[in-house]
Chains A and B, each alone.
Chain A
Amino acid sequence: NAGVTQTPKFRVLKTGQSMTLLCAQDMNHEYMYWYRQDPGMGLRLIHYSVGEGTTAKGEVPDGYNVSRLKKQNFLLGLESAAPSQTSVYFCASNVGDSSYNEQFFGPGTRLTVL
């Protein structure tokens, strides 16, 4: 099992460009999450999904969109990248249905917006 995978691992964008980050999990998890991690701060939830075809906003959703067309995939889109979106992005998944379930993380995508 690969667990949670993310592509790409690194990306440099210019302000105003768009891109999509892909997260895939092979654990048949219902719940998937996108976080951003900035220096000196904990993870902040951007968007999440409680099942195929569903998405919801987290703590910092502005400037991002998501889609969950297939259960195993969760896509994070930046429509018009801004320097403030320079960060490391992590995808996570779990069984869901309560906060007792541990989250499984991907290796992260390091994004720089110039």
Chain B
Amino acid sequence: SQQGEEDPQALSIQEGENATMNCSYKTSINNLQWYRQNSGRGLVHLILIRSNEREKHSGRLRVTLDTSKKSSSLLITASRAADTASYFCATGMDSNYQLIWGAGTKLIIKP
């Protein structure tokens, strides 16, 4: 069963705008990761946030984690055409080393 669910399923914005995607999960986690998948390609790791962290930055990416609401958000600032991709969240738990994946948000950046 899927642990993470992304919202929205699809998002289309103008280049230069900020894009925000959300991920909700159901059980306790020890970390949450975000991955990007360009069309027809494999997934690429973007950022990991641990359960004891509330916010993390990497370049134009900002991730927040609210364990009380069991949710995370990924913000991409100053979007570019190259950011067009699907974005997936994946959660990790103490009980094992597997990741549980959400269904993804498809982001389209319009020039």
Q: Which residues of A contact B (CB under 8 A)?
A: 4, 31, 33, 35, 40-45, 48, 50, 58-59, 90, 92, 96-108
Contacts and interface: CB of A to CB of B under 8 A. Distances in A.
A99 B93 contact: yes
B48 interface: yes
Q: What is the predominant secondary structure among interface residues of chain A facing chain B?
A: loop
A111 to B, nearest CB: 14
A105 B2 contact: no
Interface residues of B, number: 29
Contacts of A100: 30-31, 48, 50, 92
22 contacts: A31-B97, A33-B98, A41-B2, A42-B4, A42-B103, A43-B88, A43-B101, A44-B101, A45-B98, A96-B97, A98-B92, A99-B93, A99-B94, A99-B97, A99-B99, A100-B30, A100-B48, A100-B50, A102-B45, A105-B44, A107-B41, A107-B42
Contacts of A96: 97
A100 B97 CA distance: 8
Contact of B96 (A59, A99, A108): A99
Contacts of A104: 45
Contact of B92 (A33, A50, A99, A106): A99
A41 B103 contact: yes
Nearest to A102: B45
A90 B43 contact: yes
